[in-house]
Amino acid sequence: MDIIEFIKSILLGIIEGITEWLPISSTGHMILFNSFTNTNSGFLTTDVYIYIIQLGAILAIATLYFKKLNPFSPSKSTQEKNDTWQMWFKVIVACIPAAVAGLLLNDFMEKFENPYIISATLLIYGILFILIEKNKSSDSMKINSINQMSYKTAILIGAFQMLSIIPGTSRSGSTILGAMLLGTSREIAAEFSFFLAIPVMFGVSLLKLVTNDYVMQSGDWGLLLVGMAIAYIVSLLAVKFLVNYVRTHDFKVFGIYRIVLAIAVVTYFTFIV
């Protein structure tokens, strides 16, 4: 295994672990990282790596929320088990729009994986986060638990999730924005986004694995496992941070970050590269 590729895989794992759950676009950051480091070919640039590394991040959610996600937990009452099943049904319903969009547009949207498209979506969603937070009041946050969320709201959040197929949009960003627009509190918007990631990211990883023509070499498996392990560890920290952060803060800082990053990327690729 090449030491440079090994170090890059560690860095990509860190990027994935942080950006997958924060509303700033994980795939966009990894594509930009490969561009900045002149990584134009090789396993680390393939969809197989970029999307399957996300499985490490998913395992972090399963670890942190195992009890809440487990409908068979012996410590739960019958009502709590029923509520858990209802939560899973809402998650599945919300995944339908993204699943349909992914299957229909997967190959087409790959053409838009370039720094300028990513910059545009970073900028647009950054502005939206600031505008929504500026006009959002506590009275508009009527949904303060997933139990209070209707199936209609769940599928509408899923419709917002479809936007994440555009590079740089951010799956968590689009679902959190959509949930907030529909009256969900910041904490529940983030939590529901976490749970939506489980079937969506498994499905996307499987789709990329099946449709990609790349033939993995022996050293590639090591790079993938390293990236996944780092993504898992960093995700544990990132999710805890976001959950604690949204209890007392809004999402404006992420909007500002997206705008600053968009400007930096456009400047770099227009005047420096």
How much is the pTM? 0.86
Q: What per-residue confidence (pLDDT) applies to 178?
A: 92
Q: Which residues does the chain have with pLDDT short of 50?
A: none
Q: What is the DSSP letter of 72?
A: T
CA 232 to CA 226: how far, in whole Å? 10
DSSP class per residue in 76-119:
S-HHHHHHHHHHHHHHHHHHHHHHHHHHHHHHHHGGG-SHHHHH
pLDDT tens column, 4-45? 889 999 999 999 999 989 998 887 787 778 777 876 778 888
Over the chain, what is the mean pLDDT? 88
CA 136 to CA 134: how far, in whole Å? 6
Q: What per-residue confidence (pLDDT) applies to 208?
A: 75
Domain spans of the chain? 3-272
Q: What per-residue confidence (pLDDT) applies to 125?
A: 92
Structure token pair of residue 212: 């990609």
Q: What per-residue confidence (pLDDT) applies to 239?
A: 95
Q: What per-residue confidence (pLDDT) applies to 268?
A: 83
Q: What per-residue confidence (pLDDT) applies to 106?
A: 64
Q: What per-residue confidence (pLDDT) applies to 107?
A: 66
Q: What per-residue confidence (pLDDT) applies to 1?
A: 57
Structure token pair of residue 154: 């769940």
